[in-house]
Structure 1
């Protein structure tokens, strides 16, 4: 197949959305099945994290394997999956309820009828289960990555400076959801080479 520069994609537009992880009960988060519009509109039941800094969003699928070695060969004869992971990392630029509660791992509580809000940092913090959606778009082609269940696995440090805005660096790690880590949707025909049957899945 010849090289085709029209198939190169960037991600100049996008957004990251969050909702409670699906619980299966009444009012539970419904996972999106449409590809979206590149981040302009949040999926039903999800809220936007707002601006992400210029580094964008990093999506990292990873599979760790162990080699299977045998007496008759000096090289492995196959590899066995040891573990798998799927992480999403972004640094958020807006100071909001969503970003600060996700960063500190606690909830804001309004103090009476005043304009004062308080967030208590527990010595035994809990970990909330979230559902994460990342949308991006280039050349009219949309992509959507959906992680049904995730937790914040890592946080960066807030730097308070006179000349730089506050930023909240978060890494979300996917959890198992019915045997899957998540899924990706797209309307980009580049992923179709005409050889794979339609799965209907």
Structure 2
């Protein structure tokens, strides 16, 4: 096969969408959908910093050795994982709740009846409840569109927020796929890279 520079791909545009699935029935998207439109039941997470999104599929293996060979005769899978890492730049309800791992609740005034004060509070539990979510990552280069869908996931790590004068607040999240009927997720594309019979 000859070298083809037209097959070199970039990801100049994209979006992250999330659906909180605890107690909810969410149907992960089966198609590429429409550019800049969240899949049904999902919410957009907004701007991501210029480092983009990192997708990391990983498989850990263990060699199986035999008396008759100085080299492993096969490898056995000991674990499989798929993670998505991104640093969100928009400060909104969903990004902050994902980052802090809790929900905003309006502070109420009690004289004489409860009235909303316009102030919101987010309680950081000493025994936080890990919430399940579903994640969709879209990226494209012109008409070539790609979508990665993780039906079941949880946030496994959070970065630190730096409060500085010259840079906006950022919310770094690492999201790990959970087993979903034997799958970690799937990738969809309309790229013409596939050889058809």
Q: How does the TM-score come out when normalised to structure 1?
A: 0.92
Task: Say if 2:150 is the partner of 1:147.
Answer: yes
Q: Supply the distance in 1 between the matched residues of 2:71 and 2:141 (Cα, whole angstroms).
A: 43
Contact in 1 for aligned 2:136/2:150 (Cα 8 Å): yes
> Measured at CA, do residues 22 and 30 of structure 1 come closer, stay the same or move farther in structure 2, by a change above 3 Å?
farther
> Mapping of 1:53-68 within 5 angstroms?
53-68=49-64
CA RMSD of aligned residues (A): 1.2
Q: Secondary structure at the match of 1:55?
A: strand
Q: Supply the distance in 2 between the matched residues of 1:11 and 1:151 (Cα, whole angstroms).
A: 25
Q: Please, which of 118, 122, 139 is the counterpart of residue 121 of structure 2?
A: 118
Q: How does the TM-score come out when normalised to structure 2?
A: 0.93
For structure 1, the 5+ residue unaligned runs are: 196-201
Q: Supply the distance in 2 between the matched residues of 1:33 and 1:193 (Cα, whole angstroms).
A: 22
Q: Which residue matches 1:31?
A: 28
Deviation at 1:36, TM superposition (A): 2.4
Task: State which structure, 1 or 2, has the greater radius of gyration over its C-alpha atoms.
Answer: 2
Number of positions where the alignment pairs a residue of Structure 1 with one of Structure 2: 190
For structure 2, the 5+ residue unaligned runs are: 109-115
C-alpha deviations, 1:150-170, integer Å up to 9, x for none? 000000000000000000000
Q: Which residue matches 2:66?
A: 70
Q: Which residue matches 1:193?
A: 195
